[in-house]
Every structure is written in C-alpha cells, then in structure tokens.
Amino acid sequence: MTDVVSPSTLMPALVGIPLIAAVVSILLPRTRLGDISHIFFASLQLTIAVCLGLSLLTKDSSAVYRYALGGWQAPLGIDLALDGFSAIMLLLTAILCLVLTIYSMFFFRVPGDTKRFWPLWWLLFTGLNALFLAADAFNIFVALELISLSAVSLVAVEGTRAALIAALRYLFVSLLGSVCYLLGVALIYRSYGLLDLSSLSQVILPGAVSWCALALISLGLLLKTALLPLHFWLPSTHGSASPPVSAVLSALVVKASFYLLARYWLDVLYPATTGMALQLLGVLGACAIMWGSYQALQARRLKYLVAYSTVAQLGYLFLLFPLVTNAGPGMGFSSAAFQAVGYFIVAHGLAKAAMFLAVGNIKQGMGHDNIDQLKGIAASHPLSVFTFAIAGASLIGLPPSGGFIAKWLLLNAAIEQTQWLWVFVIVVGGLGAALYVFRVLSIAFDNSGAPIKPEAAHNDVPARVMAGCGVALAVLVMLWGFSAQWGLDLLLEGTGSRVQQLAAGVTI
Amino acid sequence: MLTQSMIYSLSGVTLFSIGLWGLISVPQILKKIMAVNMMGMGVFMVLVASAERPGVVDPVPHAMVLTGIVVAVAGTALALALVCKIHALNGVQGDNEDD
C-alpha cells in the first residue's frame, strides 16, 4: 500500500477502540465521565465502521481490504481482512453497540453491577470486531474465546441462581465448541502448514484430512450457533441474562459463529463439502424453524418466548446452504441466497435486539414476565408493546419491515432453484412466527381483566430512555426494509471478486 | 510405519476423545471441567506434534499452544469461579448440578 491514509489503516482501530474502552471503564467506574466515555467510544466505533463500509462501497476495484499488523505479511504475520460480508456485520455490531450501550447506562444504575458489567461488555465487542476482521484461522479461535468468556461472564453478572447455572452450561458448550474448532484448525495446519484463510482456500483438497477438519470445525461452530439439536443451552442462557446482554447474545454472538460457518463452508473448505452435507444443514435449519416456533408458542415466560424465537430464526440462516449448491469456492457469496441471508442477519439482529429490550422494559415495569399475567400491558407500556409489535412484524416477515425483504429474497432464491421444500418451510415458518407474536399481542391488548398495577414507577426518565432505545431499533428495522439496495451492494463488495475474476474477461 | 510425530498426534486425538466422553457422560461439574482441559491438552499435543517438518522445527504451533494454554487457564478459572458462586448460593449440593 503506497497510500498513507488508506482506509484499511482504520481496521485495527475497530479492535483497539473497544479494548481501550474496556480499560477506561475500569478506571472510571460509574462517574459522569465514565458514561460520556461509553457514548464516545460507541460513537467512534460506529463512525469508523460507517467509514469503512462507505469506502468499500465507493472504491473502484472490487478487491478486499487487507491490513498486515505491524507490517508482517501472511503467512508469518496475522492479517486483518475486510469484505462486504464483514463490513455488514461490523456495521450491525457498531449500531447495536451504540443503542445497547445507551440502554445499559440506564439499566445498570446500581454501582456494583456496572463495575463488573462494563469491562466485560467492551471486551465482548472487542472479540466480535476482531472476529469479523480476522483473516487467519487461529486468530479466529482467539476471537471466539474472547467472545465466549466475556459472554458467559455477562450472563453471570445477572447473579441469580438460574443465570449462574445457565452461564456455567453456556461456558461448557462454548469451551467444547472452541476445542473442537481448534482441533480442526490443528488438522489443517498439520497437512497444509497454513492458517491464512484466503491462502488456504486455494490449496485445500478433498480428502480425509479436510473432511475431518470440516466436521470438527462445523461441530464446534454449530454448537455455538445453537442449530437444532445443539440448541439446548440457548433458551436458558438468553432467557436468564439481563436485557442488553440477551439482546447482544441473540443479535450478534450466535451470528458470529454462523458468519464463520458460511466462510468455511462456502469458501475456505469448499472442496471438502458435499451436496448431501449442505442439504443436511438445510434440513436441520428447517427443523429448528418448526421446533423453535412450537416451543415459543408453548413458552410461559415472555423472555423464553423470545429466546425460542431465536432458535427458530437461526434456522432460516441455514437455508443458505442447500440454496447455494453447485457453486465454486467463494462463488456462493455472490448467489441470491447469500444476499438474502446476509439481509436476514441484519433484519433479525435489529428486530431481536428491539424485542429483548421491549421485554426487558416490560419485565422491569411489571416485576415479572409471565405471559398469562400480562393482560392489558399495552395501556401501561405503550412504547414497549409498540416495539414488540414492530419487531414481531419483521420476524413474521410483514412488509415494509427488513424481515419482509429478507424473506422475500430468500423465497425468490428458493423458487428460482425450484426447491419447493424450502419455499414451504419459509412460508410455514412465517405463520409460526405470526402465531407466537399475536399470542403475546392479543394478551397485551386484552383489557378485560383487572387494571394492572405496575410495581415500579415506569415513567421516569431512565424508563423513557430505555423505551426509546427499543423504539429506535424498531425504527431501524423498518428503515432496513426501505434501504434494500445499498445493503445488497455492500454484501456483494469484495465477496464476489473472485467470481468476477473467474468469469473470464472482466478486468478489475 | 509410525513416526514419532504420528504417535504424538494419535495420543493427542485419544486424549481428546477420552475428554469428550468424560464431558458428556460424567455428571460431576469438577470432573467435567477436568474433561474439557483434557480435550484441550489433546489438541495441544496434536499441534506440538505438527511442528515437525523435514529438517527444521516450525515455531508457529508452539506459539499457538502457548496462546491456547492461556485461554484454557482463563476458561478453567471462570468455570471454577462460577461453580463456587453456585455452590455459595446453593448451600451444600453444588457439586452434583447435572445438565
């Protein structure tokens, strides 16, 4: 790079900023200055993510950004890389980080909680940013562990017995997943002597080693992504954490391991994949949609309903795999199915975060979240019920939400390939989501019972800001439904470059 | 024929499998923590063995193992801390928390 102020020099900042914020939050516990610093760091992170996204969108060539840390190039050094897929994930992370940070400032008002919460919170975002920028199989392991350890601790910050037990189970699942992943990487390194993902994707050959590596890496990441039947840990973990933590776990942390699955299956280890295995992932995804929706319908607590809805919605992501069959290495990233799933990740991330915040507000106002006892809450918590309804509309896939566009793209991809089974799954899954969302809404708007008495005053300034954060995310879900094109363009940026090179004659 | 590196790798995979079996089948939390550690050790052995290249020794796997050990220690410490917390909330039967 001869250009001194190349945008790629901003990439390490995305890892550095939350790391600095974590240190600062230890030095400035619960002061006005501490609050300002949280907002400052979250805004800075968002600004840089937007800059990177914009420069990726507007540059002429379609190459990816790479940054060699300390000037050491791969294979010895550890590179950072940025393409459209990572840029979208980083943007989603930064947006959610800003909104949820504001929410958390008002949610954690007891000094004891904040002292433990903030450093872990920022370390989690350090891990997420590092993961989305990583171009190296081992660096990914480190980022995964950083995410797991801070996410588990964030669940445990809640402090109740249920949360601690959920955190311990989550820790075991995470450690098991990481160890499996690492063994997969060790097998690859043993045979190929490489860790850099883009170099690996050019030398991987089908064979026993790459099959074993793919199986181990997939098992590890599927555990972390909670695909049915490995979802057993998710509802209790996401259901017992505090609202901002549940939001970030459902919206980002499970997507991070899915992001890696997509990278390994469509690109790095593509030669080791088989059509059968891709179909199997799709079938498991379809089962997750059905089972998650059914469990959400049965749930007795609102938070568990939302958590099971995450199990169901994660199933849609896995429809990506059967719908990209017959592509070459890296070609899957320019397919219609990938665009649909990328769009879906953002729509679900925003909607699910909004939903967890709304549920958190309702729980704080009412003192509980038993669905049967929530009659008429639309009157006492209008903004939170509004947020829940908008987020629910996106999960169902009603226009004009982001979820509608995502499902429409996914349906299109399935119809184009005349894979009618997946069309059926998508439609039925939407109906399932409609059932559990309307189950809650019909109770919320039911004024027949005795007038409810919220336990705490829910109309003070913090409560209003917290409700406002939920509404802000709900509005973003709607906006995402309107701004389809730039998102799709950004997703294609860089990820499709190899395809263009392959489609001979195109000069870059 | 079995080279030294192969013996190490196979032992590593065996350790990994024993640990996996322990993690799934043993109900006691402390033994589960030990089982995860054992799986980690198995992976580290595979990595260390993969450092053998014709003529030279590749330093990269050793660096990875060092990082891995740090991560494993952190994970173990967090697990033990959580067990202590649950134990304190529970009174006596914290050891028998099964999944």
**ipTM of this complex:** 0.92
**Cα–Cα distances in angstroms (integers) from residue A288 to residues A228, A313, A401, in the given order:** 5, 8, 23
**Cα–Cα distances in angstroms (integers) from residue A194 to residues A66, A165, A463, in the given order:** 17, 39, 52
Residue A451 pLDDT level (bands cut at 50, 70, 90)? low
The full 3-state SS of A5-58, as one line of letters, equals CCHHHHHHHHHHHHHHHHHHHHHCCCCHHHHHHHHHHHHHHHHHHHHHHHHHHH
Of A141, A149, A156, Cβ closest to residue B74 = A149
Residue A66 is given by DSSP the state: E
* Amino acid at site A252: L
B58-90 pLDDT per residue, tens = 888 999 999 999 999 999 999 999 999 999 987
Q: Do A161 and B78 touch (CB under 8 A)?
A: no
> Distance (Å, rounded) from C-alpha A246 to C-alpha A464?
20
Pick the closest to residue A267 from A172, A335, A219, A349 (CA basis). Answer: A335
Q: Which residues of B touch A187 (CB under 8 A)?
A: 46
> Distance (Å, rounded) from C-alpha A173 to C-alpha A152?
10
Count CB-CB contacts under 10 A for residue A196. 22
Q: Are B97 and A165 in contact (CB under 8 A)?
A: yes
**Given this model, what pLDDT does residue B98 score?**
42
Q: How many CA atoms lie within 13 A of A403 on its CB side?
A: 26
Q: Do B47 and A189 touch (CB under 8 A)?
A: yes
CATH architecture of B4-96: Orthogonal Bundle (1.10)
Answer yes or no: is pLDDT of A1 > 50: no
> Distance (Å, rounded) from C-alpha A8 to C-alpha A55?
9
Of A149, A176, A190, Cβ closest to residue B36 = A176
Residue A20 pLDDT level (bands cut at 50, 70, 90)? very high
Higher pLDDT, A450 or A369: A369
**Given this model, what pLDDT does residue A286 score?**
96
Answer yes or no: is pLDDT of B94 > 50: no
Residue A127 pLDDT level (bands cut at 50, 70, 90)? very high
In a domain, A121, yes or no: no
Chain A residue set in contact with B, beta carbons under 8 Å:
76, 138, 141-142, 145, 148-149, 152-153, 156, 161, 164-165, 167-169, 171-172, 175-176, 178-179, 182-183, 186-187, 189-190, 193, 195
**Given this model, what pLDDT does residue A110 score?**
65
Closest approach of B63 to chain A, Cα-based (Å): 10
Residue A434 pLDDT level (bands cut at 50, 70, 90)? very high
> Distance (Å, rounded) from C-alpha A403 to C-alpha A340?
10
Q: Which residues of B touch A124 (CB under 8 A)?
A: none
As a whole-number percent, the residues of chain A with pLDDT over 90 amount to: 64
Task: Give the number of domains in chain A.
Answer: 1
Pick the closest to residue A360 from A417, A413, A303, A309 (CA basis). Answer: A303
Answer yes or no: is pLDDT of A29 > 80: no
A91-123 pLDDT per residue, tens = 999 999 999 999 998 888 766 666 789 999 999
In a domain, A401, yes or no: yes
Q: Which residues contact A159 (CB under 8 A, 6 or more apart)?
A: none
Of A152, A161, A179, Cβ closest to residue B39 = A179
Q: Do B61 and A172 touch (CB under 8 A)?
A: no
Q: Which domain holds residue A456?
A: 278-492
A402-423 pLDDT per residue, tens = 999 999 999 999 999 888 999 9
* Amino acid at site A74: A
> Distance (Å, rounded) from C-alpha A387 to C-alpha A390?
5
**Given this model, what pLDDT does residue A484 score?**
76
Q: Are A303 and A245 in contact (CB under 8 A)?
A: no
Q: Tell me which chain A residue has its CA closest to the CA of residue B58.
A: A193
Closest approach of A89 to chain B, Cα-based (Å): 25
